[in-house]
Structure 1
Amino acid sequence: MEAEVAEGGRFRLTVYQAPALLYLFVFWTPYLFLLSRYGFSSGLDEYTLRVLWFTSWQAALSALLSLVGGFALLPAYLKTPWVKPLALIPFFAPALSTVDALIRLHGDVMYSPWGIVIAHGVYYAPYVALLLESNMRSMPADMTEALDLYVRRLGTRLKIVLWELRPSILYSLYTVFVFSFLSFTTPLLLGGRYPTLELLIYIYATSYASTALASALVALNLATTLALAVPLFRMRSPPPADPASRPPKMGLLPTAVGLAAAGYYAAVAFYIFSPLLAPRGVAEVWPYVLNSILVAAVAATGSLVLVLLFLMAEGAGSRLPGVAYAVALSLSKSVFALGFFYLAQPLYGTLLILAAAHILVISPLAYSLAKPAWDKIRQDVRESCTLYLGPAKCVFRIVAELLGPTIVQAWLIALASSLSETTLALMLTTGASTTLSAVTAHLLTSRGPELVETGHFYSSLLALLVLVTVALSRLVKTRPFSF
């Protein structure tokens, strides 16, 4: 009897591991196919090395500028909560919408090498401010009271606060560096004169570059992204905010800086949405909107199916979902899209193949939203549920009774992420199957003034769709767990 139970347990565990194993296999296939197609070449030309150097230093400067912007927004986040949704508009809006707004706001300076740094700094600073605010609100109440009562020197107060904010400072610096290093949409919209490694892959894939150059670039890109992923998943995350604690008091100068930063983000938000006042190409835009919504709905639903399968595997004791999550986030999206392009030739240009690619890319995001809610349930409760009901029934029972709002929220965020996805759409769609983000990118990078003006309107419309979806997700109230 014990042998049968043991065998049954091993078989059940293998069955629940299968989705994560299949996901890993399918996700790796485009990379392996691309490497087998191009072969391996270690020869890097001088131009590629210059692009690698530019990619690295712009990512470092973007991280520093984002940190400065995050500290500028922090007083406004702490004293005037209404500023937070305003400042987060450029962050949650599609990157192409924010970059388009910055081009119209700042003019030709955005087409210089500093334009990429400015764009990254603008839409990552609100994210950094969120991490800093969370870390600051988690400071012990007795420490904040001691700072207010006994520490008079501004320099001493600043040293103490910066020491306490180390987790969020280090985490935000590194994550923004990685995000900026993997930048694709920003340098593309800024004319491609200063490409990053991600954009150079796209340029080589759509030009007549030699196979040896493309092979060396793909190998370099995979090596650097894997190397960057190792510290990212070992780094300590900032502590969650404690609603009972009180942050240090803000003086008049920090408050003024925070409000000035909020005013700048109000201007950026105005430039994001102002083209809606002058609509162009309205009759032609609706097929692209419909394509985007269809792909996003299918991708968001497929991503949640994968998330549920991953939770079942975790309930059965498997660690493969965590491995799949780490792998999917660490590898280059441009290389994935290029490999998927060659694999999808029989179905190239169809919405079906784009939805499949979106499911693979967006699933880690949906998993990262559902996993914390799953982990908040006491371990003994999850183990008992799995033991008596089995992993599948246990997950569906918990999802139905406890995680329903979280699942709805994750679905909406996955929907917004799919709507704003540009890299996959540019490489995997064509003609009538183009999505709104892809056609907007083509219009904004064209040389016809009328086409660019239409691109401004499409960009604002896309930002409106994405931000409404994100706002709906924030209206979903998740349930606090009482056990």
Structure 2
Amino acid sequence: MEVEVAEGNRIRLAYLIPPLFYLAVFVAPYIILLAQYGIVISLDSYTAWVFAFTVVQALLSAVLALGGAFLILPAYLKAPWLKPVLLIPFFAPAISTVDALIRIHGDVMFSMWGIIIAHGVYYAPYAALIIESNVRSIPADIIDAMELYVKRRWAKLRILTAELKPSILYSFYAVFVFSFLSFTTPLLLGGRYPTLELLVYIYATSFASTNAVSALVAITLLTSLAMAVPFFRLPQPPSAEQAPRPVKIGFFPLAVAALASAYYIAVGIYIFQPLSAPRAIGDVLQPLVNSVLVAFTSATLSIVVTLSFLAADAAGNKISILTYVATLSLSKTLFALGFFHLAQPLYGTLLILTLAHALVISPLAYSLVKPAWEKIRQDVKEACVLYLGPYKCISRIVTEALGPTLVQTWLFAFASSLSETTLALMLTTGGASTLSATTARLLISRAPDFIETGHFYSSLLALIVLATLAASRLIKTRPYSF
């Protein structure tokens, strides 16, 4: 008996090695960055102002995104066919959406409110998607009782707010974290009002003093780590389940939703508008080929990492989910800077970018496959692990049940790699530059011709990414099959 227990513990430890190795590699750039600059906790007046602005704009962005989510929520519920159209500004690369907003709103985007407007518009469809799933999971008896016995609108609103609390809290905090760690948006808006992410990049790539960089690195890392903690305690929004009878929506909310939907349709049109005036088509081929090569390889590697995480889950280890949550909120800018020092001899090559993308995208891939794994009946999983072992069990599940989910996840990872700007901008140069990095460099240049070319490149990037995501939705997944 003791021998069997010892053998079981040894097997569990063996399956613990891949996620631990991944976590060690993922954390290495941060450790190297701290070793490079040292640890200095100090704030000069300008850094303190940037920190305060970063927090305030993240809070206001979350409020604006949540408000926008409730405006377009009736459109999600009453006109589901509109949902893919309204989600275009969110699923399009951030660089494309922000570029479209600049062309729509003009100089106001370069003011202090520009970042807040961009984040609010960008994340509102995402927040609405989460809240919609919560609305569709409200039991029909609660809806019936509310409509029969509750006459006051404010009382109904309090009941709905209580029912939607998980999705409201989760979407608010998620948007806050994403906005706090924003890099691409303030960069494209001229950098006049930088967030911590952009400021640390500016200092680290300029001739700023080592102490200034050290303080920024330490503060950014500490705050990003602190923001990962609430994800352990936030209630997860319920999955979308079609209610027997949906909530009734009045004329006024529907009219407001129609206006909000018209705005998002206009943003979508502006995203693709530059495609009607192609520019520098010959110059786009090399960055596009680089993007596809990096995306194909990194997406494949992310699937391999995901399978190793699932094997650890099957063996009874919890390290995979802990690794996912721990890496969710860490600063991507610091990761890119640290990865530059980690693989400096390979700087400017597609190899370094591919490895960086695989590390960053793997948690996303795991989060997409994990729900499908959880839907497999517990007795089936236990029997599978008992008789086949974790590795063979995962292989069989992949073959018979999770195959379509993995293909869909691979396409999501592929699109995510194509959209990635932060890593590509910091880790590529010259002929190894990707389409997203080339687009960003063109858009932040001061030459009108280059900016016009950047508009076309951003539209082309959005088209490719959205086409990939659309292809992923054509794949029909199934929860399990044995």
Compute the TM-score of the two structures, normalised by the length of structure 1: 0.98
Taking the aligned partners of 1:430 and 1:361, their CA distance within structure 2 comes to: 20
Taking the aligned partners of 1:386 and 1:132, their CA distance within structure 2 comes to: 36
Q: Which residue in the other structure is 2:42 paired with?
A: 43
Q: Which residue in the other structure is 2:89 paired with?
A: 90
Q: Which residue in the other structure is 1:406 paired with?
A: 405
Q: Is the contact made by 2:402 and 2:480 (CA closer than 8 Å) also made in structure 1?
A: no
Taking the aligned partners of 1:323 and 1:167, their CA distance within structure 2 comes to: 21
The structural deviation recorded for 1:247 is: 2.3
Q: Which residue in the other structure is 2:140 paired with?
A: 141
Q: Which residue in the other structure is 2:188 paired with?
A: 189
What is the identity, as a one-letter code, of the residue corresponding to 2:473? R
Q: Is the contact made by 2:72 and 2:125 (CA closer than 8 Å) also made in structure 1?
A: yes
The structural deviation recorded for 1:3 is: 4.3
Output aligned runs, 1:19-58, within 5 Å: 19-58=18-57
RMSD: 1.2
What is the identity, as a one-letter code, of the residue corresponding to 1:70? A
**Secondary structure of 1:48's match?**
helix
Taking the aligned partners of 2:193 and 2:337, their CA distance within structure 1 comes to: 20
Output aligned runs, 1:242-321, within 5 Å: 242-321=241-320
Q: Which residue in the other structure is 1:174 paired with?
A: 173
Q: Is the contact made by 2:401 and 2:481 (CA closer than 8 Å) also made in structure 1?
A: no
Q: Which residue in the other structure is 1:220 paired with?
A: 219
Q: Is the contact made by 2:428 and 2:434 (CA closer than 8 Å) also made in structure 1?
A: yes
Output aligned runs, 1:62-211, within 5 Å: 62-211=61-210
Taking the aligned partners of 2:226 and 2:167, their CA distance within structure 1 comes to: 21
Taking the aligned partners of 1:247 and 1:266, their CA distance within structure 2 comes to: 25
Comparing 52-61 with 136-145, greater Cα deviation is found at 136-145
Taking the aligned partners of 1:407 and 1:113, their CA distance within structure 2 comes to: 42
Comparing 181-190 with 124-133, greater Cα deviation is found at 124-133
Taking the aligned partners of 2:411 and 2:469, their CA distance within structure 1 comes to: 7
- Judged with a 3 Å threshold, the aligned counterparts in structure 2 of structure 1 residues 345 and 454 are, in CA distance, closer, same or farther, namely same
**Secondary structure of 2:80's match?**
coil
Q: Is the contact made by 2:348 and 2:429 (CA closer than 8 Å) also made in structure 1?
A: yes
Q: Which residue in the other structure is 1:9 paired with?
A: 8
The structural deviation recorded for 1:155 is: 2.7
Taking the aligned partners of 1:12 and 1:143, their CA distance within structure 2 comes to: 48
Partner deviation per Cα, 1:442-476 (whole Å, 9 max, x = no partner): 00000000000000000000000110111111111
Taking the aligned partners of 1:462 and 1:233, their CA distance within structure 2 comes to: 35
Taking the aligned partners of 1:199 and 1:422, their CA distance within structure 2 comes to: 13
What is the identity, as a one-letter code, of the residue corresponding to 1:326? V
Q: Which residue in the other structure is 1:232 paired with?
A: 231
The structural deviation recorded for 1:205 is: 1.6
Output aligned runs, 1:330-349, within 5 Å: 330-349=329-348
Comparing 205-214 with 376-385, greater Cα deviation is found at 376-385
Percent identical residues: 64
Q: Which residue in the other structure is 2:375 paired with?
A: 376
Taking the aligned partners of 2:357 and 2:420, their CA distance within structure 1 comes to: 8
Taking the aligned partners of 1:121 and 1:83, their CA distance within structure 2 comes to: 19
**Secondary structure of 1:481's match?**
coil
Compute the TM-score of the two structures, normalised by the length of structure 2: 0.98
**Structure 2 unmatched ranges of 5 or more:** none
Taking the aligned partners of 1:327 and 1:250, their CA distance within structure 2 comes to: 40
Q: Is the contact made by 2:138 and 2:243 (CA closer than 8 Å) also made in structure 1?
A: no
Q: Is the contact made by 2:62 and 2:172 (CA closer than 8 Å) also made in structure 1?
A: yes
The structural deviation recorded for 1:482 is: 6.6
Q: Is the contact made by 2:188 and 2:443 (CA closer than 8 Å) also made in structure 1?
A: yes
Q: Is the contact made by 1:406 and 1:478 (CA closer than 8 Å) also made in structure 2?
A: yes
Q: Is the contact made by 1:147 and 1:248 (CA closer than 8 Å) also made in structure 2?
A: no
Q: Is the contact made by 2:287 and 2:432 (CA closer than 8 Å) also made in structure 1?
A: yes
The structural deviation recorded for 1:242 is: 2.0
What is the identity, as a one-letter code, of the residue corresponding to 1:66? A
Q: Is the contact made by 1:139 and 1:245 (CA closer than 8 Å) also made in structure 2?
A: no
The structural deviation recorded for 1:345 is: 1.1
Partner deviation per Cα, 1:374-410 (whole Å, 9 max, x = no partner): 0111222112111111111110000100001100011
The structural deviation recorded for 1:119 is: 0.4
What is the identity, as a one-letter code, of the residue corresponding to 1:29? A
Output aligned runs, 1:346-365, within 5 Å: 346-365=345-364
